[in-house]
Structure 1
Amino acid sequence: MTTLTEAGRKTTVVPPVSGDFSSCQQKTIRLYPVSNYTFGTKEAQPEEDPSVSARLARLQENYEQYGMRRTCEGILVCHEHGHPHILMLQIANAFFKLPGDYLHPGEEEIAGFTNRLNERLAPVGGQYAPDQHVAEWDIGDCLAQWWRPNFETFTYPFIPPHVSRPKECKKMYLINLPKHKVLSVPKNMKLLAVPLFELYDNSNRYGSQLSAIPQYLSRYNFEFVDENDVVIGRSPTLTH
């Protein structure tokens, strides 16, 4: 509703009601508050390589033996104050990454990805009550594929035209979090809930892959619920 002033008079202008704009819309995702999740710790998981150059050298060695590396990472979404947040690992108070890792040679994709998620975040046996410690993951849509053309740090969301044999493909999957879940984080890492507005267009801090997550998720509508499973908001909410 807009108020205009014409020759000393105030005129109220009501915009017309817009038409439906939800054709072919993706499914609505229900998000639970971050307070619904229990966070524990487990033994540290040091990085396999002491430097970037060492990691690229190992990538080249593995490529010559096994071919292109296959990596899977999970986008775990919850909410805080009615805004989507991504659960993200932080290493050495500086480096951010999504839970997941590369698949072993010959490992089936989803089964291998589930194994990597368990290695990163599943609680260890006996750490929690038996009914809390079932390591199950609802792996949803593949939201992005990133390609490493050469044994370099540069990755792209497409395969460059001159590249016929990329060295790595990284897939990012949406992980549908249940109402409650226990997550155990390695002692040398932190698990942070990072809001979408912090990630968006912030490649200087998070890199090109993570800062693009808001674009990946823009295809979905969200439904926010509280700790009592009551819907407290939706996004987008449009006022006619």
Structure 2
Amino acid sequence: MSVVSNRGSLENENTSDQRYVLDIYPLSNYYFGSKESIPFKDETLHDRVQRMKSIYAVHGLRTCVEAVILVELFKHPHLLLLQVRNSFFKLPGGRLRPGESDIDGLKRKLMRKLSLSEDGNEMDWEVGECLGMWWKPDFETLLFPHLPPNVKQPKECTKLFLVKLPVSRKFIVPKNLKLLAVPLCQVHENHKTYGQVISGVPLLLSKFSFNIIDP
């Protein structure tokens, strides 16, 4: 296997810190299938806001965890995104259950949306560092990459985690979702198409050296 880096070969790297070297495998290494659709909880934005208010009244701050997963295509890093109703895009993930840890919750969501079963018997997911956090001061759609100083009771926190793929695995996606590989250069600052969080992912990944591993 040959290794290609977006910052030159590893032998020429000036740093020996391997924490920021991210191996990326070709999209062709992975297999894709489908399973039964999963129900959508909200039909309208109003329904979503009302549901969030009800949950907040019982459990307080809502915490969501989302996965940043990369593959290689055309010698460029691509981000795996789920497309919902052929209209908007999401990172794989979702809301934590009360008392659930970030890592356990993200693995559960990945099993539900990207794996055949949800019982944890498949290959485990390698959840890495938290790349960033976004905050909702209120129940509206506006998000902040920091908690505004005047906000004492935020309504939602979204955490992005780097998830590293093995050299090969099988993705099983619900029929009412589409799993797409989108180039980072297309996502970068494209707020109109991908929203605040997704369009900011390339900046969060800027500290990494991408090593594209070819078969």
TM-score, length-scaled by structure 1 = 0.80
Counting matched residue pairs gives 201
Give 1:141 shift. Answer: 1.1
SS of aligned partner of 2:52: helix
1:67 is aligned to 60
Q: Does 1:196 align with 2:184?
A: yes
RMSD of the TM alignment (CA)? 1.7
Give the partner amino acid of 1:181: R
Match of 2:9 in 1: none
Residue among 57, 66, 79 paired with 1:86: 79
In the alignment, structure 1 residue 224 sits paired with structure 2 residue 212? yes
Q: Deviation string for 1:149-200 (max 9, x for gaps)? A: 0111111101111101111100010000100011111101110000001001
Match of 2:42 among 27, 32, 49: 49
2:77 is aligned with what amino acid?
A: P
1:27 maps to which residue? 20
| Deviation, structure 1 residue 104 | 0.9
Question: 1:26, CA displacement in angstroms?
Answer: 4.7
Using the alignment, how far apart are the partners of 2:125 and 2:117 within structure 1? 16
Match among 204, 207, 216 for residue 195 of structure 2: 207
How far apart are the structure 1 equivalents of 2:138 and 2:81?
Answer: 27
Q: Which residue of 2 aligns with 1:37?
A: 30
Gaps of 5+ in 1: 1-19, 126-132, 229-240
5 Å-filtered alignment, 1:103-142, equals: 103-124=96-117, 134-142=122-130
Largest Rg, 1 or 2: 1
CA deviations over 1:94-139 (Å, ceiling 9, x no partner): 11001110011122221122111111111139xxxxxxx7241000
**Do the aligned partners of 2:111 and 2:117 also contact (CA within 8 Å) in 1?**
no
Q: Distance in 2 between matches of 1:46 and 1:112?
A: 19
Q: In the alignment, is the contact (CA less than 8 A) between 1:90 and 1:96 conserved in 2?
A: yes
Q: Percent of counterpart pairs with the same letter?
A: 41
Are 2:162 and 1:169 equivalent residues in the alignment?
no
Aligned counterpart, 2:4: none
Question: Match for 1:182 among 170, 187, 191?
Answer: 170
Q: CA deviation at 1:57?
A: 0.9
Q: Cα distance, 1:23 vs. partner?
A: 8.3
SS in 2 for 1:124: coil
One-letter amino acid of the structure 1 residue matched with residue 194 of structure 2: Y
Contact 1:26 1:219 in 2 (8 A): no
Paired amino acid for 1:205: T
| 1:100–1:113 contact (8 Å) kept in structure 2 | yes
> Which SS does the other structure have where 1:88 is aligned?
strand
**TM-score scaled by structure 2?**
0.89
Q: Aligned equivalents of 1:110 and 1:201: distance in 2?
A: 27
Structure 2 unmatched runs, 5+: 1-12
The answer to whether the 8 Å contact 1:42/1:124 transfers is no
